[in-house]
Chain A
Amino acid sequence: MVLLSLAWKSLRNRLLTTSLTVLSIGLSMALLLGVENVRVGARESFANTISQTDLIVGARGGSLQLLLYSVFRIGQATNNISYESYQHWKNHPAVAWTIPYSLGDSHRGFRVVGTTEDFYQHLRFRRDRQIEFAAGHSPKDVFDVALGSDVAQALGYKLGDKVVIAHGVAAGRGIADNDHADKPFTVSGILKKTATPVDRSLYIQLEGITAVHIDWADGAPPMAGDEIPASKISKENMKVEQITSFLLRCKSRIATLQLQREINTYKDEAMQAIIPGVTLQELWRTIGYAEDALQVVTIFVILVGLLGMLVSLYTSLNERRREMAILRAIGAGPGKIIALLVLESGLLAFAGCILGVVMIYGLSFIFQPIVEQQFGLYVPVQPPTQTGWIYLGAVIFAGLLIGFVPAWKAYRNTLADGLSVRV
């Protein structure tokens, strides 16, 4: 305890160096913990892009592909599934709810998704958050469209604006910009930000998808004279023939595997059902390299911080030779001299860690909403994760360990100096 109070007072005496050292360790610690939080946040956000969905069902093909176009709106389906099959599974006794998606059209680079009221009712992300409207309401008419918040923001649309959707999903413009120009949609609602791919799509009714393609044949626009004008179209006379995929929630989770098997072996149509969590994990593993790289960089930042501490302690030793001689004279052995310096460096590392934790708490508290808004990344404000604690422990331990370097130097000094120090 005597040594601890000595170490503390000695550090306090060199306030400027001490605070700079603590600051540098604190900053690197905050960076390390911040990266850790972002890493966890990214993984969580990713894993929680959809929640409460037990199965994603689509035409048979790659499971990753199904996940990508159903959840992330990346890539395209090679096949659709029939509306009858969808109805069959929707009415299956084990099924709680379904959300159908009909994909394939776009608007200025953003995907257009045909769906039903179920989407606004049942879709969950980040555990239990659901779709909310910033303005307006869900599409009630065939030619109504609801915009994801990114879409509305990027294109500057407001309620009542006319939107023309294009056939195909090529980035930027559709195949020909005005494919469905004869049937414009009206913005009926704008969704609140969800920080998921939901923000980057436009939502219309399934019947809307049918309507814009009603006069098309074999994927080609109608010949002159064959067009069916929008005025002749109403929700009632639109018959949905097919959808692309659907999300499914079981009444009991235990039924999930059973149902998955049933769908995969469905005789009437070649279909596949995937468990999103499993496939999301597969996907994360393939794109997880970035987080490793990030971690390596921050570990080097920590090393630089600790090295700074080493330098500041080491250079202070020459001014402190006198102090060491006094301590020797009043009976402090080399062991105590070493302990004093190791304690000082341990205290510095400890204080740096505390500062780092406080900083990262404060920063995530301030920047959480901004990060979520700008990057769609939900970084939780939470006490350090298990990995975070391991980092903290490791840095304090490294701090103590590093203390042995100046301690050894001081020990050598005291042996050489004895009680005589030429100032």
Chain B
Amino acid sequence: MSSPAVVLRDVRFSYRSGPEILDIPELTIARGERVFLFGPSGSGKTTLLGLLAGVLTGYTGSVEVLGQDMAKLRGSARDAFRGSHIGYIFQLFNLIPYLTVEENITLPGRLHPARGKQTGDVNAVAQRLGIEHLLSRSVTQLSVGQQQRVAAARALLGGPELLIADEPTSSLDFDHRERFLELLFENCALSNSTLLFVSHDRSLAGKFDRQLSLLDFNRAHRKEAAV
């Protein structure tokens, strides 16, 4: 438990023969920290998340997540690691359209027995997020706000050590945004999860323990700007 949630050292990454997207000398996120990551679009946010989640490979340097060196995991082990330890929330359309709300929430646990074992009570999570009355609904009947809360419930179920949220609030209006963030904080605190929250909406930044500007620690763009 003593290892930080995320440690990046000398990480460079570019898509196949494209320009360098990431050049990060050093980045550390402590366990239980709530980090707000911001940067203009195209600054490499999504790429960074792909590295942390173990979806993108082919980087140089080292990426350690929850003490695990991602380079040392082979394909399926990486997928299993992601499924078991990381919760992920997208900006939009987080849910599988042909499953019910409850089936969507429990899917990671069913795909990964390790996650399934620690799966807490679906009802409890649903209740904390205020969606317990929607469990048997089809996801297509939900409003956008409800969908995002279902996505949060899925990401939080089983208390993953790391929760990555990629602009989860940008499709919500102001009130819902505040409420959603509160719920996220509450639940992360409950399961002691580290939260990496990505957004370009700086108005939310003040609520987080730490604010990170990708432009500050990603040198790839500085080089490009110099050219």
Partner-B contacts on A (CB < 8 A):
2, 6, 9-10, 12-13, 322-323, 325-336, 418-420, 423
- Which A residues lie within 8 Å of B50 (CB)? 418-420
Interface string of B52-91 (1 = CB under 8 A from A): 0101100000000000000000011011111110101010
Question: For the complex, what is the distance from the CA of A155 to the CA of B181, rounded to whole Å?
Answer: 91
Q: Which segment of B103-111, B127-135, B183-191 sits at the interface?
A: B103-111
Tell yes or no: B112 within 8 A of A by CB.
Answer: yes
State the interface size on chain B (CB cutoff 8 A): 35
The listed residue (B46, B80, B154) touching A419 by CB distance below 8 A is B46
Residue contact B88 to A335, C-beta cutoff 8 Å:
no
Some 12 contacts from A to B, beta carbons below 8 A apart, are A2-B110, A9-B98, A325-B90, A326-B90, A330-B83, A330-B154, A331-B79, A331-B112, A333-B79, A419-B55, A420-B46, A420-B50
Q: Which of B76, B81, B88, B98 contacts A10 (CB 8 A)?
A: B98
Which residues of chain A are within 8 angstroms of B95 by Cβ–Cβ distance? Answer: 326
Known: A10-B98, A13-B97, A323-B97. A330 touches B107 (CB 8 A): yes
B8 at the interface (CB under 8 A from A): no
B154 / chain A contacts, CB cutoff of 8 Å: 330
In the complex formed, the residue of A with least CB distance to B77 is A333
Give B contacts to A, CB under 8 Å: 46, 49-50, 53, 55-56, 75-76, 78-84, 86, 88, 90, 92-99, 103, 107-108, 110-112, 115, 154, 166
Measured in the bound complex, the distance between the Cα atoms of B92 and A10 in whole Å is 20
Interface of B: prevailing SS:
helix
Given contacts A323-B96, A331-B82, 19 further A-B contacts (CB under 8 A): A6-B96, A6-B99, A9-B103, A13-B97, A326-B94, A326-B96, A327-B96, A328-B79, A330-B154, A331-B79, A331-B86, A332-B83, A334-B75, A334-B79, A335-B76, A336-B111, A419-B88, A423-B92, A423-B93
Docked-complex contact B111 and A332, CB < 8 angstroms: yes
Cβ of A2 to closest chain B Cβ, rounded Å: 5
On whether the beta carbons of A333 and B80 are closer than 8 Å, the reply is yes
Q: When chains A and B are docked, how far (Å) is the Cα of A322 from the Cα of B98?
A: 13
In the complex, chain B residues whose CB is within 8 Å of the CB of A420:
46, 50
- Distance of A328 Cα from B90 Cα, bound (Å): 12
Chain A contacts of B99 at CB under 8 A? Answer: 6, 9
Which B residues are CB-close (under 8 A) to A328?
A: 55, 79
On whether the beta carbons of A331 and B115 are closer than 8 Å, the reply is: yes
Contact B111 A12 (CB under 8 A): no
CB pair A331–B49 under 8 Å, yes or no, is no
With A and B bound together, what is the CA distance between A328 and B53 in angstroms? 10
Cα separation A334 to B77 with both chains bound (whole Å): 11
Q: What residues on A are CB-neighbors of B103 within 8 Å?
A: 9
Contacts of A331 in B (CB 8 A): 79-84, 86, 108, 111-112, 115
A329 B88 Cβ-Cβ under 8 A: yes
Q: How far is the CA of A328 from the CA of B103 in the complex (A)?
A: 16
* A-chain residues with CB within 8 Å of residue B107 when the two chains form the complex: 2, 330
- Report how far A334 CA is from B82 CA in the complex, Å: 13
Q: Which residues of B contact A2 (CB under 8 A)?
A: 107, 110-111
> Which residues of A have CB within 8 Å of B53?
329, 419
For the complex, give the distance between the alpha carbons of A13 and B138 in Å: 11
Are A332 and B92 in touch, CB under 8 angstroms? no
Contacts A326-B95, A331-B82, A332-B79 known; A419 to B49 CB distance under 8 Å? yes
Partner of A418, one of B55, B81, B93, B98: B55
Measured CB to CB, the closest approach of chain A to B69, in angstroms, equals 18
In the A-B complex, the 7 residue pairs with the closest CB atoms:
A331-B83, A13-B98, A333-B79, A330-B108, A329-B88, A418-B55, A2-B110
Q: Given A419-B49, A419-B55 in contact, is the A329-B90 Cβ separation under 8 Å?
A: yes
Q: Of residues B86, B107, B115, which shows the largest number of chain A Cβ atoms within 10 Å of its Cβ?
A: B107
**Closest residue on chain A to residue B138 by CB atoms:** A13
Smallest CB separation, B168 vs chain A (Å): 12
Interfacial chain B residues near A323, Cβ < 8 Å: 96-97
A13 to B139, CA, bound (A): 12
CA distance A329 to B115 in the complex (A): 14
Output the nearest chain B residue to A11 by Cβ-Cβ distance.
B98
Q: Could you tell me the distance between the alpha carbons of A304 and B92 in the complex, rounded to whole angstroms?
A: 39
Distance to closest chain A CB from B10 (angstroms): 22
CA of A418 to CA of B48, assembled, Å: 12
With a cutoff of 8 Å between Cβ atoms, the chain A residues found around residue B55 in the complex are 328, 418-419
* Bound CA–CA A334/B54 (angstroms): 13
Q: Which residue of B lies closest to A415 (CB)?
A: B55
Min CB distance, A202 to chain B, in Å? Answer: 68
Which B residues touch A327, using CB under 8 A?
Answer: 96
| Nearest opposing residue in chain A for B110, CB measure | A2
Contacts of B46 in A (CB 8 A): 418-420
Closest to A417 in B: B55
> Within 8 Å CB of B96, what residues of A?
6, 323, 326-327
Most buried by A among B78, B96, B103, B110: B96
Q: Establish whether residues A322 and B115, one from each chain, have CB atoms under 8 Å apart when the complex forms.
A: no
CA distance A323 to B90 in the complex (A): 12
Q: Which of A9, A323, A331 has the most CB of B within 10 A?
A: A331
Minimum CB–CB distance from B139 to chain A (whole Å) comes to 11
Cα distance A287–B132 in the bound complex, in angstroms = 71
B213 to chain A, nearest CB (A): 20
Report the Cα distance A333→B75, complex, angstroms: 8
Bound Cα distance A329, B112 (Å): 12
Give A333's nearest chain B residue, CB to CB: B79
Shortest Cβ distance from A332 into chain B, in angstroms? 6
Q: Which residue of B lies closest to A8 (CB)?
A: B98
A419 to B50, CA, bound (A): 7
Name A12's contact: one of B75, B84, B98, B110 (CB within 8 Å): B98
Q: Report how far A12 CA is from B98 CA in the complex, Å.
A: 8
- Chain A nearest CB, measured from B191 CB (Å): 17
B70 to chain A, nearest CB (A): 14
